[in-house]
Amino acid sequence: MKILSRIPFLFGVVLSVAAHAEDKPMLAIPGPVLYENKLDAAPGPEWKAAKGKWEAVEGSLRGSEIPADKHGAVIRLTQKLTDFVIDAEFCFSGAKSTSLSIDAVKDHMARIVITPSSVTIRRDDNDHDGPDKAITFGVFPKKFEPGTWHKIHLEMVGDTMVGQVDDLVAWGSDPLFATPKTAPGFTAAGQSIQLRNFSVRSATLNPAWESVKATLPKPGAKK
């Protein structure tokens, strides 16, 4: 383990790619590791488990909703971030859904939502009952068999994010993304989800990002 310590403008596009983002830079060039954890032991003090049960099982971190909570299981890394790249692996073990999310200083910012049959990449609603609304950058049909491991990847640099699950990618830009970021973490609805090989790295803008964008489908394109 290693630790170092409103009217939005939207531009989103969806892309399926064969290579993982670690192999072919998209938005971000990954820098030094800020935090890494195989998640093969009980969560340390740097993690805050707000809801649910989180335990080490079979070399991974298993998250399960507790019915009495009347809320999905939630665990977050208590770390502030600027521009970053997050990688992890997940495996469905009966859960209805899971997500990798990042918060703004107040309220939610962005997330990748995964169910056993779909992937959604979005900017979150940032004020709950106020006028702000979530904005979806990409929705994909995708079947995740129980017991199979998959990759999840999130990049945020400046006012832009890229979300990726296996070979499915969506990206978008919004002024909210340029504000301070905090508390990356996971949710689990139902029982259960397993997680492993979590890492956070600092990031800088890929100098070729404009060229990469030029090769992507137009906004609203789907796989």
Q: Is residue 12 predicted with pLDDT exceeding 80?
A: no
222 lies in some domain = no
Residue 64: which CATH number? 2.60.120.560
**3-class SS string, 96-153:** EEEEEEEEECCCEEEEEEEECCEEEEEECCCCCCCCCCCEEEEEEECCCCCCCEEEEE
- Structural tokens at position 41: 């032991």
181 lies in some domain = yes
* pLDDT tens sequence across 112-127: 999 999 999 999 999 8
134 lies in some domain = yes
Categorize the per-residue pLDDT at 130 as very low, low, confident or very high, splitting at 50, 70 and 90: confident
Categorize the per-residue pLDDT at 22 as very low, low, confident or very high, splitting at 50, 70 and 90: very low
Mean pLDDT of 156-162: 96
Choose the weakest-confidence range: 11-20, 40-49, 173-182, 212-221. Answer: 11-20
- Tally of CA atoms within 13 A in the half-sphere of 14 that contains its CB: 16
159 lies in some domain = yes
pTM of the model: 0.88
32 lies in some domain = yes
130 lies in some domain = yes
Range of the domain at 95: 11-199
Give the three-state DSSP class for 67. helix
Q: Is residue 4 predicted with pLDDT exceeding 60?
A: no
pLDDT of residue 212: 85
* pLDDT tens sequence across 28-61: 999 999 999 999 999 999 999 999 999 999 999 9
206 lies in some domain = no
Categorize the per-residue pLDDT at 24 as very low, low, confident or very high, splitting at 50, 70 and 90: confident
Please report which helix (H) or strand (E) contains residue 211, including its range: helix 209-214
Mean pLDDT of 77-84: 97
Domains of the chain: total: 1
212 lies in some domain = no
* pLDDT tens sequence across 92-115: 999 999 999 999 998 999 999 999
Looking at residue 163, what DSSP letter applies? E
